[in-house]
Structure 1
Amino acid sequence: MKILISNDDGIDSYGIIALARELKKYGEVFIVAPIFEQSAAGQSITMKRPLKIVEHFIDGKFFGYAVNGTPADCVKIGITTILNFVPDIVVSGINHGSNTATNIIYSGTVSAAREACMMDIPGIAFSINGRTSENIDWAAHAAANITVKALSHGFEKGKLLNVNFPNLKKDEIKGTMITKQGTSKFADTYDTVHDVIGRAYHQLKGDFVNLDDNNELIDQVAIENGYISITPIKLDSTDHEEFEKIRNWNFAEVTP
């Protein structure tokens, strides 16, 4: 099994180090990740400047390739330029911080896995609901098991799973739940600060707003209740119910 790993926290993040360590038990691992943190980069790719690829070493040992681009850049250039083969799967993470509900739209972690799907390769994104590394090790072990199990069940090219772990100790986890993407979001505001000569700058902040009524089958609710959340998502963003409705709106009349 050949596995390409990327992330959005950057190539030195403990999440990707732990994930690579566990996945190496099951196959060949190749790492292509951003040089710097790319949180909330979404599906963006670099078009106006060339990308630089550098070999990256940790404790004097070759670890992978660092790219001065986004997570989607890393997957795209990793498959088309760095590797001389198509990997069996692309795995992204482990992200420090959950990627649930509407946050997956912004997530560089999810976007790396989604980029694989756009290239007809299965992808899995892994995130943990915390900013520290204290529970990363067991999450990485579980992530490797999820990856192997998905492939053993014929996880198809172009398919995508979004996995989120609660930030709990291993013995506090209640189990695994197959979930749906929620609709919760952040109520965003900006703090205004001024530099020494009075110029204003605006820093994004926000409070999480739960809009899912504690439905246990929703991703964010599941991890808050102590379950590992596994959500199948797809590239097709069509609202199929609305599609049927607006077919009757007679848009033909808008043409001159």
Structure 2
Amino acid sequence: MRILLTNDDGIYAKGIEVLAEHLCKHTEHQVTVVAPDRQKSATGHAITLHKPLHVHEVDLGLPVTAFKINGTPADCVKMGMHVLLDEQPDIVISGVNAGSNLGMDVFYSGTVSAAVEAAMNGIPAVAVSACGYKNFAFAAAAQFVERMIPMIQSQPFEKNRILNINVPPANAPIQGVRVTTLGERSFSTNYEKRLDPLGRSYYWLIGEEITTQNDPESDVSAVQSGWISITPLRLTLTDEAWMKQLKQWTFQ
């Protein structure tokens, strides 16, 4: 199986290293890593238009082909599919991200957006994140993805759909796996004004998570209870129910 790995934490991040280690143990897999050359978290689905993209092959000390790019996660997937790989990948896996991608996080997440870029091109895609702020369960997340690949191979995977996986922190036993909805997760928006060494002011975004009551079927609730969350996402954003109402409006 041709597997393209990417992330938004950068090519030298621990999460993608652990995932590559697990997947390249299987001789039936041909693993290629194409990832940003540095931290690119919360870049969403940005792509690079107004500066050149530089690609460098790197040695990760693993039996994989690896490239770093001075672009976004979506850039990496586009370059992987259209420039760097001789054949289209059978699957794109984005992660393992250091930190969760739950609820509305998916709209900011470079991890999820990399998977979305693959899905837009008809390639099965998975985003996987290790939740928490430390004690990331990278190995557990990689093992879970490793076990899921045969299931993905044997099941239909429609275009414009991805799987968003979140694994609880490593400091608690995993209860099992739940298929979930997107929950509600929000942060306060506070900009702290600071001064640089030259006395010029700048602002730093400081947000704290706001506690929200979540449906028991949501990804947020599942992870909080120690379950691996799998949320199926589709890229169609049209609100069909509201469309019907809008057609009743009188437009000038």
**Normalising to structure 1: TM-score of the pair?**
0.92
Q: Which amino acid aligns with 1:4?
A: L
What is the SS of the residue equivalent to 2:74?
A: helix
**Deviation per residue, 1:158-213 (Å, 9 max, x gap):** 320100000035x71111000011232112111111123321111011111243x2
Q: Which residue among 83, 86, 89 is the counterpart of 2:88? A: 86
Identify the residue that residue 192 of structure 2 maps to in structure 1: 191
Whole-Å Cα distance in 2 between the matches of residues 56 and 132 of structure 1?
Answer: 27
Give me the whole-angstrom Cα distance separating, in 2, the residues matched to 1:37 and 1:118.
Answer: 24
Q: How does 1:148-187 map to 2 (within 5 A)?
A: 148-169=150-171, 172-187=173-188
Alpha-carbon displacement from aligned partner over 1:8-44 (angstroms, at most 9, x marks no partner): 0000011001111112225111110000110001000
Partner of 2:15: 15
Partner Cα distance (2:65, 2:245) in 1: 52
Distance 2:113 2:177 in 1: 23
2:131 is aligned with 1:124: no
Report deviation, 1:61: 7.1
Quickly say closer, same or farther: Cα 1:95–1:210, change in 2 above 3 A: same
**Secondary structure in 2 aligned to 1:204?**
strand
Q: Decide whether aligned partners of structure 1 residues 141 and 62 sit closer, same or farther in structure 2, where only a CA change above 3 A counts.
A: closer
Contact map agreement 1:15 1:133 (CA 8 A) in 2: no
Residues 178 and 228 in structure 2, CA contact (< 8 A), matched pair in contact too: yes
Taking structure 1 as reference, are residues 249 and 183 closer, same or farther at Cα in structure 2, changes over 3 Å only? farther
* Amino acid corresponding to residue 177 of structure 1 in structure 2: R
Quote the offset at 1:146 in angstroms: 2.1
Letter of the 2:210 counterpart: V
* Distance across 1 between alignment mates of 2:8 and 2:197: 32
Which of 125, 132, 145 in structure 2 is aligned with 1:143? 145
Q: Where do 5+ consecutive residues of structure 1 fail to align?
A: none
Once the two structures are superposed, residues 104-148 of structure 1 have per-residue CA deviations (whole angstroms, 9 ceiling, x without a partner) of 100000000000011111110000112446521122111221233
Unaligned runs of 5+ residues in structure 2 are: none
Q: Letter of the aligned partner of 2:176 in structure 1?
A: G
Residue equivalent to 2:225: 225
CA distance in 1, matches of 2:21, 2:175: 25
2:52 counterpart of 1:50: yes
Contact 2:122 2:159 in 1 (8 A): yes
1:73 alignment partner AA? D
- What is the DSSP-based 3-state SS (H/G/I as helix, E as strand, rest coil) of the residue aligned with 2:103? coil
1:98-137 → structure 2 map (5 Å cutoff)? 98-132=100-134, 135-137=137-139
8 Å contact 1:166–1:223 — kept in the other structure?
Answer: yes
**Distance in 1 (alpha carbons) for counterparts of 2:169 and 2:117:** 27
In the aligned structure 1, how far is the partner of 2:76 from the partner of 2:197?
38
Deviates more, 1:51-60 or 1:77-86: 51-60
Q: CA deviation at 1:72?
A: 0.1
Q: What's the Cα RMSD here? A: 1.7
DSSP-derived class of the 2:42 partner: coil
Per-residue displacement from partner, 1:196-252 (whole Å, max 9, x unpaired)?
A: 3321111011111243x232211111101100000011111112222122111122x
Query: Percent identity between the aligned chains?
Result: 39
Contact 1:168 1:226 (C-alpha < 8 Å) held by counterparts: no
